[in-house]
Amino acid sequence: MTETDVRAALRAQRIEVPSWAYGNSGTRFKVFAQPGVPRTPEEKIADAAQVHAYTGVAPVVSLHIPWDRVDDFGKLASYAAERGVRIGTINTNVFQDDDYRLGSVTNPDPRIRRKALGHLLECVDIMDATGSRDLKLWFSDGTNYPGQDDIRARQDRLAEALAATYDRLGPEQRMLLEYKLFEPAFYLTDVPDWGTAYAHCLKLGERARVVIDTGHHAPGTNIEFIVAFLLREGKLGAFDFNSRFYADDDLMVGAADPFQLFRIMHEIVRADALREESGVNFMLDQCHNIEPKIPAQIRSVMNVQEATAKALLVDAGALAAAQAAGDVLGANGVLMDAYNTDVRPLLAQVRTEMGLDPDPMAAYARSGYAERIVAERVGGQQAGWGA
Ligand code: LRH
Ligand code: MN
């Protein structure tokens, strides 16, 4: 790929940011409140718009229901548009109601299953109002002790709810099914791995795809293999990017393992799936428990840009030749040369070409926005997970 093509691909990159990253978040031990945190979905969107203003590649904001529920989602979509961003993926939430103690769509009690399905269908109504394409489904459903419930029966219940939701989707709308190894369930999770999500999506149809949350795997899992496999099957719908040292830590993407992010983006570039038409939605799903949230999102977007730039610089011809020749070290060397390339000057140039400051972090810090929101956002209920 010529450097001109690389810069064009980087200018065209699109990363979706999560509304909940701008609210307070934490662990069971403590949720630390930070001054200036949004109180409303509008203020979350205003903060997300700052990330796009300084990076130029983050024009879409994911919402989470009910955390971002408003009376008029059409009006919220206009509010976002006035700030240069649009509302993207709608995230369901059937993991914070006492009724879901033994599961939501997999619950033994049909009344509770109907309630959970009702929420999923309401989220499609919201997509109709916001013009969103993607419905993202993550289920905390699972059990904590062997024998607590019937594994197969729970899969039957899950499949029934997924099919009913899929049938409700409009022709341009998609369903993204997210898997997670464990937590909050600690014995069995009903959608624990990519294979289970993939199998359900295959049964559902073309507009059902898998979400890879990079924090949802057993330690040592080769995530780029899952990426390559699902791309080959046309079943990779999206990423929830973050990073972790241990479990679902939801740290800044690329912070814990930038080499893993590079290897993932290498499989994306190799499959020509960076283009918007590929249908892969590159989203962040993070919690900034102790660090300032808007700068952390800007840094996260830059981490994805850096991994992408390095992946675009892989000499594909030399790599293919070394692989064909069985030149193990040669092939590995080609990839490491790209990974060890300092792409920060290239990205600074790309930002300049986009009419942006080459250093988004410094430009945001100079803007005074952080100080302004601390001064303005006094009183009211700061946004959070409401857990
Ligand atoms: C679950 C998850 C899911 C979201 C939530 C915010 O761990 O990754 O994607 O709904 O985090
Ligand atoms: Mn996620």
List the shell of residues around ion ligand 2, using CB closer than 5 Å.
213, 240, 285
Segment 45-74 mean pLDDT: 98
> What is the model's pLDDT at position 176?
98
Residues 80-102 pLDDT 10s:
999 999 999 999 999 999 999 99
Segment 25-48 mean pLDDT: 97
Is a pLDDT exceeding 70 seen at residue 73?
Answer: yes
Segment 252-274 mean pLDDT: 98
Residues 267-287 pLDDT 10s:
999 999 999 999 999 999 999
Residues 346-376 pLDDT 10s:
999 999 999 999 999 999 999 999 999 999 9
Query: How many A from CA of 315 to the centre of ligand 1?
Result: 36
Which residue has the least CA distance to atom 4 on ligand 1? 138
Per-residue tokens: 129:
């109002």
> What is the model's pLDDT at position 243?
98
Exposure class string for 182-194: b at 16+ Cβ within 10 A, else e: eeebeebbbbbbb
> What is the model's pLDDT at position 354?
98
Distance of CA 233 to CAs 225, 230, 271, 279, 280, Å? 12, 5, 11, 13, 13
Per-residue tokens: 280:
């892969």
> What is the model's pLDDT at position 387?
59
Contacts of 75 (CB under 8 A, 6+ apart): none
For the chain, percent of residues with pLDDT exceeding 90: 99
> What is the model's pLDDT at position 386?
76
Segment 182-196 mean pLDDT: 98
Please classify residue 318 by burial: count the beta carbons closer than 10 Å to its beta carbon, then call 0-12 exposed, 13-18 middle and 19+ buried: middle
- pLDDT, mean over the chain: 98
Which residue has the least CA distance to atom 11 on ligand 1? 285
Distance of CA 92 to CAs 165, 210, 262, 333, Å? 12, 15, 29, 43
Cα torsion at 371, 79, 177, 292 (round to 10°)?
0
Query: How many A from CA of 68 to the centre of ligand 1?
Result: 14
- 296, 251 in Cβ contact below 8 A? no
Distance of CA 166 to CAs 139, 158, 209, Å? 16, 12, 11
